[in-house]
Every structure is written in structure tokens, then in C-alpha cells.
Amino acid sequence: MRTPLVAGNWKLNKTESEAIELINAMMPGLEKVGGVEKLICPPFIALSSAARLLNASSIKLGAQNMFYETEGAYTGEISPTMLKDLCEYVILGHSERREYFGESNQIVNKKIKAALAHDLIPILCVGENLADNEAGKAADVISTQLRASLVGANIFDGSKLVVAYEPIWAIGTGRSATAEGANRVIRNVVRPILSGIYGAHVGNKIRILYGGSVKANNAKEYFGMSDIDGALVGGASLKAEEFVGIAEAAQK
Ligand code: 13P
């Protein structure tokens, strides 16, 4: 009932010309994958070229971040109205933004509300660090992140929000969470909290992705799980063959 979503978070990688090259390399393979929503999130500077390239394709475009104001004296920032012209999705609250750029749950909350107000679909990232995981605090951390990030964020259609569960200890480390472990967190923690906030009808429609060292050769294990609706892919989304392989693995 939820269409799988395979999203590539390119992070701080690729110049504009390299981005065009990568999109051209992955487009034919991605276009052949049906029944899966395919999304790429290149850096801001490549968004308008990417939007032109993907215009007539089935591949969607997203940004990796956004400020919550629409305009004004905020040097260096990008607004929801600027993004709305170019893309459909925006990744918000990624752990790297929380860690390196001081994004609190309160800031993420403002961004989520701004994205929704401008009809951008937020991909809200949550996940515990290694210390919290080992101390058995994963559920508490995730619960706080979700509740605080979604305060006052009204959603009446579950397809307007995506959540990515990305355990920090599994990002870029090659040490992925087991499919069973990720599924358990999503089924027992993330989905019940979303259903508690929005009601089961909306909650059941929100797609929940796993992220953290997903590759073409392990993707099927995750997509075979009952509650994992796709993946937010970092490193492997920078290689055309790998990313196409992951999208193929999401096909039913
Ligand atoms: P990796 O796939 O490189 O572990 O990154 C995951 C991630 O942070 C996606 O947002």
C-alpha cells in the first residue's frame, strides 16, 4: 500500500558538470525500474541542471537542506520558495546537519513546518548514536526527535511526509544495522509514534526508510522487511550501477 522510495543523498559531492554526468549515467537504468519512487538529492548548485535533465523522466528531485524563512537577510541560505520551483522533496534534520551545523530539534521543527507550508515533502531523519544505542536508549532518542520535530506540523495525508531511520553508527561506516534490527525499530518505535501523532490512517501511509550503509548487495534484505518502505542512500548513490541496483532491489 506504500510505494517504496529509494532516495540518494549525494551530500557534499559532485560539481555541477559531474552531477550532470552522474544523472546521465543512472537515468536509463532508473527509468526501467517500475513500481518504485526514485529520488536523487544533489547539492543545491546542481538542482536546476538536474531539474532540466529529469523533467520528462520518472526520477524525482530533492534538496538536502533548507532554511525556514522564505526570504530576507539570511546570508547563504536557501528558502522553501526557491526549492519549490525545482524539486519535490527536501531532506531535513540529517544527523550530519545536527552534528556539524548545530541543528536542534527546534530548528528542524521550523524547517519541517516551512516545507509543509510550501508543499515540499520533508524527509525527516532520525536516529541514535552509538553510545545511546549501546545504553539501550535508542527508542527514547528517536521518540524525542520525532515528537519535537513534528510539533504543530499538521499532515492530513501520510504521503506528504517521509521519515528516515538512520542510526548514526551505521552511516558511512560500512557497519549497517541488521535488516531485522532496523525493521524492529521502525515497527515498534517509529510507526507507533507517527500513528500516535497523526492517527493510524495517516500514520500507516507515511513511508519510513532505512539509511546507513545500504548497498546494491544488501538492499534486498532491507526491502524484504515488513515495515521498511525504502532507503536513504549516501555513498552508494554516487555510483550509477550501485544506485540502480538498489532501486531494482526495491521492485516487488
Ligand atoms: P551511507 O549510505 O553512506 O552510509 O549514508 C547514509 C546516509 O547518511 C544517507 O542520508
Q: How confident is the model at residue 206 (pLDDT cuts 50, 70, 90)?
A: very high
Going by alpha carbons, the residue nearest to atom 2 of ligand 1 is: 234
- Convert the pLDDT of each residue in 94-122 to its tens digit: 999 999 999 999 999 999 999 999 999 99
pTM recorded for the entire structure = 0.97
Give the Cα-Cα-Cα angle 97, 99, 101 (nearest 5 degrees). Answer: 50
Indicate if the pLDDT at residue 51 is higher than 90.
Answer: yes
The reported pLDDT for the residue numbered 169 is 92
- State which residues form the domain around 154: 5-251
Task: With CA atoms as reference, report the closest residue to 33 among 64, 53, 60, 63.
Answer: 60
pLDDT tens-digit series, residues 131-156: 999 999 999 999 999 999 999 999 99
In whole angstroms, give the CA distance from residue 245 to residue 170. 20
Rounded Cα–Cα distance for residues 216 and 236 (Å): 8
How far apart, in Å, are the Cα atoms of 156 and each of 66, 119, 125, 192?
22, 13, 20, 17
Give yes or no for residue 75 having a pLDDT over 90.
yes
Measured by CA distance, the residue closest to atom 5 of ligand 1 is 234
pLDDT the model gives residue 210: 97
Q: Which residues pair with 7 in a beta bridge?
A: 39, 232
**What one-letter code names the amino acid at 9?**
N
Q: Give the CATH number, domain containing residue 212.
A: 3.20.20.70
Give the count of domains, the chain. 1
Instruction: Report how far ligand 1's centroid is from the alpha carbon of 123 (Å).
Output: 13
Report CA torsion sign: 64, 68, 70, 71. Answer: negative
Give the residue among 36, 47, 92 at the shortest CA–CA distance from 243.
36
The ligand 1 atom at the shortest distance from the C-alpha of residue 11 is 10
Catalytic residues: 94, 166
Supply the residue whose CA is at minimum distance from atom 9 of ligand 1.
Answer: 234
